[in-house]
Amino acid sequence: MRTRLRYKDWVNGRSGHRLRRSTAASMSLVLLVPAGVAIAPSSASASTSGNRGAEAAAAASTTCPTTGQVPRNLTLDLSGAGGPAVDNFNPFTWGGNLSLVIYNSLLNYQYFTGTATSAKPWLATGYSWSANDEELTLTLRHGVEFSDGTPFTSADVVSTFTLLKKYPDINPNGITFATVAAPNAYTVRFTFDAPSYSEFFYIAMTPIVPTSWDSIGDPGKYADTSPVGTGPLMLKTFTPEDVTLVPNPKFWGPQPKTCEVQWLDYTTATTAALAIEAHQLDWSNLFWAGWKTDFVDRSPENQVDPIPVGVQPLIPNLGEYPLNLLPLRQALSLVIDRKELAAVGEYGYDTPAVYETDLFPGDLAEQEPSLSADTFQYSVSKARAILKAGGFHWNGSGTLIAPDGKPVSLTITSLSSAGDRMTDGVILAGEFHDALGVQATNEGATWPVMDADWTEGNFELMNGWVNQNGPSVYEFYNQIYDTSLLRPVGQVSSGDLERFTGTAGDSYLQEYSTAGTDSGRTAALYKLEELTVSEMPIIPYVIGSNGTAFQTQYWVGWPDASNPYAYNGALAELGIMSPFTQVVLALQPR
């Protein structure tokens, strides 16, 4: 069993993408800016850490200057939340940031709409499974080089996965296999102790590092300041306020059309909004409430990407009393006005969560048909009746009292830099207080504080997110129920962050992993869905959208609702090849 870490990168966004299981065994391969006013990133610095690689080669059909400043129409300028950049491009640590457009994976695929058989050949050109799903063989692309000119071979793949097996701290997806070997320079073979098709997505999408990493010790403790990868971009210069990437002249595929990609640090959504309105940024996911009136409505070049990407839940700490009591979780869910949160807290960009299976709309084909009637309801009277039957009562002041005789007091933790999340938290706290008499408050936290409290179990209600990634909804439920990734309070857990301790979830996950047939996997998924409806381990309230703004004065071909070929919101995702690789290669100068 394996769990996915939540999305952690500069932009602190939400993620979700799908790769469907196929029975086929192999792949065929209000802000106005006066004219002339420049909006500068925070603490902009002209100094750099020096050129860490070759200068940009001329991109295909693009003539890039060899000296001087690159023209604005040949640069791709981006900005996101999270503060200044960290000088670390390690693809296995969250400090990697933009590393996953530098380090690429064995396969690539169409986000949201892709299937296993339509996965794009990348560093691998094909794969096949044995009949019992206990052996995976991949064929590698010939003629690939790292950005320093070193040939890419099967030795690099074997080295990468040997490191993952040896150092659990760089294996956030819990990839498990018996052996990995290289029969020749362009073939890699994995063996497993049981049917393991559930491992395929994460193996295929793991970034590959060169064999030189064998000598660095624990890669999880390695600060990679001079990255050498096979991807379409490589590092040119670094400052905390301005990271510049350029096309990798050794990239095996077509060159990006941009001469430079710059990540710029804007400290607030307001300054980023000013910059993108002034066409000084091409893309940003720094959310502000006036996206439509202050940005989209001002020009047809200004667009907001509303692609839904996953459930946005309250995550109760099931290790804390009284949130470990099911009646309280059920009652809290029943008094959430999901329509209000979507319209007010999310400013109409998100839609209410619907199904108690917690599934994303794109996953409903995998939902047990009989569970389609189990939808989130709003009923204060039903909530209060459930609490009363569960041993709760109210004192003379209307305060909810738990079965242990103490008032119910709950703190919601929300990301302080996310205006929508803070608004949601305030609304939720008010609903819990007004409908149930819960002494509820919403507290903002910076991402480092929120992340530490979440993974170490020091919270009550986390206003968080759960990724919905991978070949099936197994990956989604695996994040919730895999107790092997849970650690004692105060230690960092990489899964089961709501701290569910029942054995049923582990049992059904194991059934899925070892099923060996599609029908067996489907039966296991149905059990996980039924468990989710009955236990309510998390409490979704909206379907979170992508939430990015972009403008098309200089670049066209961005993913949007009509062509969601990639997740536009994520520049990099921990342990998974960046969807932004696809975006960089798809964009065309206007």
CATH number (domain holding residue 145): 3.40.190.10
Residue 250 per-residue DSSP state? T
Residue 253's pLDDT is: 94
Backbone angles phi, psi at 386, to 5 degrees: -65, -40
In terms of domains, do 234 and 103 share one? yes
Token pair, residue 487, equals: 């650690």
Contact partners, residue 179, CB within 8 Å, separation at least 6: 190, 191
Q: For residues 507 and 531, give the distance between their C-alpha atoms in angstroms, rounded to a whole number.
A: 11
- Comparing 411 with 447, the larger pLDDT belongs to 411
Total residue length of the chain:
590
Residue 467's pLDDT is: 66
Mean pLDDT to the nearest integer, 494-511: 93
In terms of domains, do 114 and 204 share one? yes
Residue 42's pLDDT is: 42
Residue 575 has pLDDT above 50, yes or no: no
In terms of domains, do 269 and 339 share one? no
- Comparing 120 with 151, the larger pLDDT belongs to 151
Most confident of 355-369, 427-441, 497-511: 427-441
- Measuring CA to CA, how many Å separate 170 from each of 93, 465, 575? 7, 22, 8
The sign one gets for the Cα dihedral 244, 249, 251, 257 is positive
Q: Do residues 481 and 496 touch, judged by C-beta distance below 8 A?
A: yes
Place of tokens 């400043």: 69
Residue 427 has pLDDT above 50, yes or no: yes
Residue 62 has pLDDT above 60, yes or no: yes
Instruction: Name which of 5-14, 25-34, 282-291, 479-488 the model is least confident about.
Output: 5-14
- Comparing 521 with 410, the larger pLDDT belongs to 410
Residue 58's pLDDT is: 37
User: Is residue 58 one of the residues assigned to a domain?
Assistant: no
Percentage of residues in the chain with pLDDT exceeding 90? 52
Mean pLDDT to the nearest integer, 235-250: 93
User: Is residue 42 one of the residues assigned to a domain?
Assistant: no
User: Is residue 270 one of the residues assigned to a domain?
Assistant: yes
In terms of domains, do 396 and 528 share one? yes
In terms of domains, do 565 and 533 share one? no
CATH number for 482: 3.10.105.10
Instruction: Name which of 58-72, 339-353, 576-590 the model is least confident about.
Output: 58-72
pLDDT band for 365, please (50, 70, 90 cuts): confident
- Return the HEC string of 76-117: EEEECCCCCCCCCCCCCCHHHHHHHHCCCCCEECCCCCCEHH
In terms of domains, do 519 and 579 share one? no
b/e for 356-374, b at 16 or more Cβ within 10 A? Answer: bbbbbebbeebbbeebeeb
In terms of domains, do 559 and 521 share one? no
Residue 568 has pLDDT above 80, yes or no: no
User: Is residue 550 one of the residues assigned to a domain?
Assistant: no
Q: For residues 81 and 8, give the distance between their C-alpha atoms in angstroms, rounded to a whole number.
A: 11
Residue 17 has pLDDT above 80, yes or no: no
In terms of domains, do 313 and 447 share one? yes
In terms of domains, do 331 and 279 share one? no
Angle at 264 between CA 259 and CA 265, to 5 degrees: 170
Q: Show which of 524, 545, 566 is a domain's final residue.
A: 545
User: Is residue 578 one of the residues assigned to a domain?
Assistant: yes
Q: Do residues 188 and 158 touch, judged by C-beta distance below 8 A?
A: yes
Most confident of 8-12, 321-325, 413-417: 321-325
In terms of domains, do 288 and 419 share one? no
User: Is residue 33 one of the residues assigned to a domain?
Assistant: no
pLDDT band for 442, please (50, 70, 90 cuts): very high
Residue 416 has pLDDT above 70, yes or no: yes
Residue 375's pLDDT is: 95
- As a whole number, the mean pLDDT across the chain is 82
Residue 187 has pLDDT above 60, yes or no: yes
Backbone angles phi, psi at 421, to 5 degrees: -65, -40
Percentage of residues in the chain with pLDDT exceeding 70? 81
Q: In what order do the strands lie in the sheet with 260-264?
A: 233-239, 242-247, 260-264, 75-79, 283-284, 548-551, 302-305
Residue 348's pLDDT is: 84
- Measuring CA to CA, how many Å separate 47 from each of 38, 43, 166? 19, 11, 39
In terms of domains, do 298 and 403 share one? no
- Residues spanned by the domain of 233: 1-23+73-306+555-590
Instruction: Name which of 22-31, 377-386, 531-540 the model is least confident about.
Output: 22-31
What's the structural domain count of the chain?
Answer: 2
In terms of domains, do 279 and 350 share one? no
Residue 278's pLDDT is: 83
Angle at 462 between CA 337 and CA 396, to 5 degrees: 60
Residue 6 has pLDDT above 50, yes or no: no
User: Is residue 182 one of the residues assigned to a domain?
Assistant: yes
Mean pLDDT to the nearest integer, 1-30: 31
Token pair, residue 199, equals: 């491992």
Residue 558's pLDDT is: 86
Instruction: Name which of 97-106, 389-398, 453-462 the model is least confident about.
Output: 97-106
Q: For residues 549 and 276, give the distance between their C-alpha atoms in angstroms, rounded to a whole number.
A: 8
User: Is residue 413 one of the residues assigned to a domain?
Assistant: yes
Residue 293's pLDDT is: 76
